[in-house]
Amino acid sequence: MAKWTASDIPDQTGRVAVVTGANTGLGYETARALAEHGARVVLAVRNLDKGKDAAARITANGPRGEVALQELDLTSLGSIRAAAEQLRFQYDRIDLLVNNAGVMWTPKSTTKDGFELQFGTNHLGHFALTGLLLDRLLPVAGSRVVTVSSIGHRIRADIHFDDLQWERGYSRVAAYGQSKLANLMFTYELQRRLAPHGTTIAAVAHPGGSRSELTRNLPAWARAVLPVVEPLFQGADMGALPTLRAATDPGVLGGQYYGPDGLGEQRGYPKVVASSEKSHDVDAQRRLWAVSEELTGVVYPFD
């Protein structure tokens, strides 16, 4: 079978795509490829100056699609609600939402709403944003929600329902694993709820080992070995391919998980991969969904 590359992205003309964290790394490469193939891409970013620079770099290449900016701070439910309101005002339809932004292995800290930073940003922020934008996706046949997870969902990962915010102790690695496991469980439960509507699907992807700004929060010991191992990582353009395939390949099915096809899923071209057994715990998925609605105050408009 031929390797899937960005050249396999179908024409995206007429599609509106919102990509979080699109000013750098994987999000930037995802947004750039979508714009090059004709989509109107909204860069949803926390730092507008960096967003403007990213938009300028994309437009300098003469993409077929347009590029727009939207301020979005996933550590603030207030910012998420404001961004969703602006997006809903500007766009009658959204064809694609890519939940890409994230933080990794941060020191213990909280979001503006008091959530543990990694769980609050990577999962709860995107849970809230997706729910607030869903009424712009549901009427659109072929629309998609793609969330970016990580191999880290297998590393010391569980959903600690008795201490979701890590108030009784903190491990930056385990907290990251919880947030990335939550990304998968959210996607699987979202797909189950989307299926009766027949218009929108949810899929998930991971980039393998890719060079990105996620490494900025590594602890000292990890930063020390990074120069040795980083040459083994693939570029962000390759790391974005699983997300792009999940977002655009006509053959994608709801609930599928895409990652690199190389050894250990660390690098390579995108294919369907398997997630951990824990990620498929339906009872835990439903419990996480209910807790996420309670914590964010965002109730999905399925009914």
- List, for residues 237-254, the tens digit of each pLDDT value: 999 999 999 999 999 999
How many angstroms separate the CA atoms of 13 and 32, rounded? 14
Categorize the per-residue pLDDT at 228 as very low, low, confident or very high, splitting at 50, 70 and 90.
very low
pLDDT greater than 70 at residue 216: no
Q: What is the mean pLDDT of residues 158-168?
A: 98
Is the pLDDT assigned to residue 224 strictly greater than 70? Answer: no
Active-site residue, selected from the candidate residues 91, 170, 176, 300:
176
Tell me if 132 sits within 8 A of 80, measured CB to CB: yes
- Return the sign of the alpha-carbon dihedral for residues 155, 156, 157, 163: negative
First to last CA, the chain: 42
CA distance 175 to 106: 9
- pLDDT tier at 74, thresholds 50, 70, 90: very high
What is the residue-averaged pLDDT of the chain? 93
**Predicted structure pTM score:** 0.94
The domains of the chain, with CATH numbers, are: 6-296 (3.40.50.720)
Is the per-residue pLDDT at 1 higher than 80?
no
Residue type, 180: K
Binning the chain into helix, strand and coil, the percentages to the nearest 5 are: 50, 15, 40
Give the tens place of pLDDT for each residue, 32-47: 999 999 999 999 999 9
Could you report the per-residue pLDDT of 194-203, keeping only the tens digit for each? 999 999 999 9
Q: CB of 30 within 8 A of CB of 100?
A: yes
Active site annotation includes 176: yes
pLDDT score recorded for residue 209: 80
Q: What is the mean pLDDT of residues 274-283?
A: 98
Residue 2's pLDDT band, with cuts at 50, 70 and 90, is confident
Tell me the per-residue pLDDT of 86-115, one tens digit each, with 9 for 90 and over.
999 999 999 999 999 999 999 999 999 999
Is 148's pLDDT higher than 80? Answer: yes
Distance in angstroms (rounded) separating the CA atoms of residues 23 and 58: 10
Whether pLDDT at 206 is above 70? yes
